[in-house]
Amino acid sequence: MTMEPGLLLTTLLGVGFAAQWLAWRVRLPAIVFLLLAGIVFGPVLQLVHPDRLLGPLLFPVVSLAVALILFEGSLSLRFAELRGIGGAVRGLVSYGAIAALLMLAAAAHLLAGLSWDIALLFGALTCVTGPTVIAPMLRTLRPNARIASTLRWEGIVIDPLGALFAVLIYEAIVSREQGHTIGVFLGTIGSGVVAGAAAALVLGQLLRRQMIPEYLQNFGTLAAVLLTFSLSNALAHESGLLAVTIMGVALGNMRNLHVDDILDFKEHLTTLLVSSLFILLAARLPWPLPSGTLMAGIGILLVSQVLIRPLSVVIATAGSSLAWRERALIAWVAPRGIVAAAVSALFALRLDALGMHGADVLVPLVFILIIGTVVLQGATARPLARWLGVAEPEPRGVLVFGADEVPRAVAKALHDGGIRVVLADDDWEGIRRARMDGLATFFGNPASSHADRHLDLTGIGRLLAMSTHRERNSLACLHYREEFGRDRVYRLRNLGPEETTDRAALADSLLAPPLFEEAMTHGRFAGLLAQGWRVKSTRLTATFDWPHFIEQYGSASILLFGIEEKGALRVVSTKRQLEPRPGWTVIALVPPAAAAEA
């Protein structure tokens, strides 16, 4: 059965969206469903033939897509963040990664019969995890904060470093295969480094001096990345991938240069590229697989899971403060992701064109390891964490969206009441003041793709959308109600005279339950604080119950939250009224006179 190319391409986009949506629903990395979709549409049903569909454009299209993926990943590597990641993470992304690379290469050489060149390339590609596969798994796994932080930072840092390892090994293989001297190899590396650094310097200056209008910055950056990749390849063959990787690292670490908007755009573009690219790459898999490839892939998966990862973790975390139970779970969790899949497919295309023996089995082996680690670890990691006693209980913490005086006052009261709180906003002044109050913060939009990668939600189970932006509150509620559940997402209303009509009101499907009493809005809350009202926390007892609280602090007091004896948080909303009991800690907004007496 054949399909018209235009219809086939649009069908692939739809399938890619469906795979991403399914991954979101079941909280597994999307790459598994994308690869499986490609296998079904390619080798199984024979509907997609990438070489026939794209013809001579296949290699350029894959090359440019991989260049953008590498640039986006390297753009998120900030050297300043490396100083605070801890000894265990530094070990995992340095000598631990090198140990894993060498052991994976040995396994590929012994079990799959790959030459040492291809085996080392396989090891470099598969020694990395990555935030796109770690983040969904951590949400389901819910380990303690030390484990979650270690795995999350390992994925963030090793993703671009692993790509750099793989590119350098690939350059060495190609240089040797083409009979180049060590001087030519070093020249290729130098050309990529210089081209990437120069491109980053020029683009960074243009962005910093506002010489590119804001609406053209994303387009200009996209054009600069692709142009750098192509020009570097023209100057020194196969240096383009190194150039865009260096360009991303350099841009991401320039001072006084804000790349968050560019990063968000690249993440959205990468989602589109990944959704289409991986289906095409999986559809190219030879079927049946080369003799012995499936069994070799399963063997490498098992050896990696039960021997290589544990050994590399033991080496990397020696002397760290992690307990053995925490190390055991870290040793089990290491799903492979986007960099391994995308870069392996590109390298395999090029090495196969050079006639290198073993290049045809590189992609199947990588794909088997990706699918195997994600599925196996996704199914077993949570039970293992519970058995080891390192799993977090039901998340009781709160994510507060907003950083002005209202959400800061609420977040401080919850924090003082023993509730884990993370306050998120892109208002730097508000975030700075929250940090001075001792609150955990996230600088950025909590509904962004950047937050999906970097916002630590360990122990967080509720959202309080309390910013001054009504539409962004609604967007955050939509974003997190599938994460936390519809009954654990709330908003503080932002009503003005012009917003009370049906014409201006948002659709019910976009709204979460309003916080606090019926008449409470952000403006009223801020006005009360300005008049001297204060957020007051009090523990109730049998002799000082809620009626006594009202008697002391006044009937005008407004109940906001209740914290049960066992630490469970109860939220007052228009749909849920509370009856505080002895033993609870109540958090209420009390009038000025009562606040002064307290």
Q: Per residue in 391-443, pLDDT tens? A: 776 777 889 998 889 899 989 988 888 888 899 988 888 888 889 888 888 88
Amino acid at 417: G
pLDDT at 360 over 90: no
Burial-class residue 435 by CB neighbours within 10 Å (0-12, 13-18, 19+).
Answer: middle
Which pLDDT score, from 0 to 100, does residue 597 have?
Answer: 54
One domain for residues 344 and 445: no
Residue that finishes a domain, picked among 335, 355, 388: 388
Q: Using H for helix, E for strand and C for coil, what is the string for 142-173? A: CECHHHHHHHHHHHHHHHHHHHHHHHHHHHHH
* Strand runs labelled E in 444-515: 460-465, 489-491
Sign of CA dihedral 51, 53, 57, 62: negative
Q: For 320, how many CA atoms within 13 A lie in the half-sphere containing its CB?
A: 23
Three-state secondary-structure class, residue 301: helix
One domain for residues 421 and 304: no
pLDDT at 509 over 60: no
Contacts of 26 (CB under 8 A, 6+ apart): none
Which pLDDT score, from 0 to 100, does residue 502 have?
Answer: 46
Which pLDDT score, from 0 to 100, does residue 299 have?
Answer: 95
Which pLDDT score, from 0 to 100, does residue 189 have?
Answer: 81
Q: What is the mean pLDDT of residues 151-173?
A: 79
pLDDT at 107 over 90: yes
| C-alpha to C-alpha distance for 398 and 247, rounded to whole angstroms | 38
Contact 365, 122 (CB under 8 A): yes
Which pLDDT score, from 0 to 100, does residue 94 have?
Answer: 85
Ramachandran quadrant class, 91 (left: phi over 0; alpha: psi -120 to 50; beta: rest): alpha
Which pLDDT score, from 0 to 100, does residue 312 have?
Answer: 94
Three-state secondary-structure class, residue 230: helix
The confidence band for 594, taking pLDDT boundaries of 50, 70 and 90, is low
Which pLDDT score, from 0 to 100, does residue 511 have?
Answer: 65
Contact 592, 556 (CB under 8 A): no
Residue 139, strand partner residues: none
Three-state secondary-structure class, residue 284: coil
One domain for residues 338 and 289: yes
One domain for residues 189 and 143: yes
| C-alpha to C-alpha distance for 305 and 111, rounded to whole angstroms | 15
Which pLDDT score, from 0 to 100, does residue 508 have?
Answer: 47
Which pLDDT score, from 0 to 100, does residue 393 have?
Answer: 66
Sign of CA dihedral 54, 55, 61, 63: positive
Burial-class residue 274 by CB neighbours within 10 Å (0-12, 13-18, 19+).
Answer: buried
Which tokens belong to 431?
Answer: 């975030």
Q: What percent of the chain has pLDDT over 70?
A: 90
The confidence band for 349, taking pLDDT boundaries of 50, 70 and 90, is confident
More confident: 232 or 359: 232
Q: What is the mean pLDDT of residues 88-106?
A: 89
Which pLDDT score, from 0 to 100, does residue 585 have?
Answer: 87
Burial-class residue 212 by CB neighbours within 10 Å (0-12, 13-18, 19+).
Answer: middle
Q: What is the mean pLDDT of the chain?
A: 82
CA angle 404, 407, 409 (to 5 degrees): 100
Spatial CA neighbour of 449 closest among 176, 73, 185, 117: 73
Q: What is the mean pLDDT of residues 182-198?
A: 82
Contacts of 218 (CB under 8 A, 6+ apart): 261, 262, 265
**How many C-beta atoms lie closer than 10 Å to residue 260's C-beta?**
13
pLDDT at 79 over 70: no
Q: For the segment 548-570, what is each residue's pLDDT rounded down to a tens digit?
A: 888 888 888 888 888 887 778 88
One domain for residues 271 and 402: no
Which pLDDT score, from 0 to 100, does residue 140 have?
Answer: 75
Residue 381's H or E segment, with its range, is helix 359-388
Q: For the segment 132-145, what is each residue's pLDDT rounded down to a tens digit?
A: 778 778 777 778 77
Our measurement of the distance from residue 250's CA atom to the centroid of its chain's CA atoms, rounded to an integer in Å, reads 21
Residue that finishes a domain, picked among 339, 358, 388: 388
One domain for residues 354 and 488: no
Phi, psi dihedrals of residue 588, rounded to the nearest 5°: -140, 160
Q: Rounded to two decimals, what is the model's pTM?
A: 0.69
| C-alpha to C-alpha distance for 503 and 236, rounded to whole angstroms | 61
Range of the domain at 310: 5-388
Amino acid at 70: L
Spatial CA neighbour of 550 closest among 563, 562, 538, 561: 538
One domain for residues 320 and 422: no
The confidence band for 80, taking pLDDT boundaries of 50, 70 and 90, is low
Our measurement of the distance from residue 417's CA atom to the centroid of its chain's CA atoms, rounded to an integer in Å, reads 30
How does DSSP assign 204-228, residue by residue? HHHHHTT-S-HHHHHHHHHHHHHHH
Number of domains observed in the structure of the chain: 2
Radius of gyration of the chain (CA): 27
Contact 452, 463 (CB under 8 A): no
Amino acid at 449: S
CATH label of the domain that carries residue 150: 1.20.1530.20
One domain for residues 434 and 369: no
Which pLDDT score, from 0 to 100, does residue 499 have?
Answer: 47
pLDDT at 479 over 90: no
- Start-to-end C-alpha separation, the chain: 78
One domain for residues 485 and 513: yes
Helix, strand, coil share (%) of the chain residues, nearest 5: 65, 10, 25
One domain for residues 463 and 571: yes
One domain for residues 434 and 351: no
Which pLDDT score, from 0 to 100, does residue 296 have?
Answer: 93
One domain for residues 452 and 319: no
CATH label of the domain that carries residue 586: 3.40.50.720
For 561-594, letters b (16+ CB in 10 Å) and e give bbbeeeeebbbbbeeeebebeeebbbbbbbbeeb
The confidence band for 266, taking pLDDT boundaries of 50, 70 and 90, is low
Residue that finishes a domain, picked among 358, 388, 418: 388
**How many C-beta atoms lie closer than 10 Å to residue 57's C-beta?**
9
More confident: 459 or 196: 196
pLDDT at 576 over 80: no
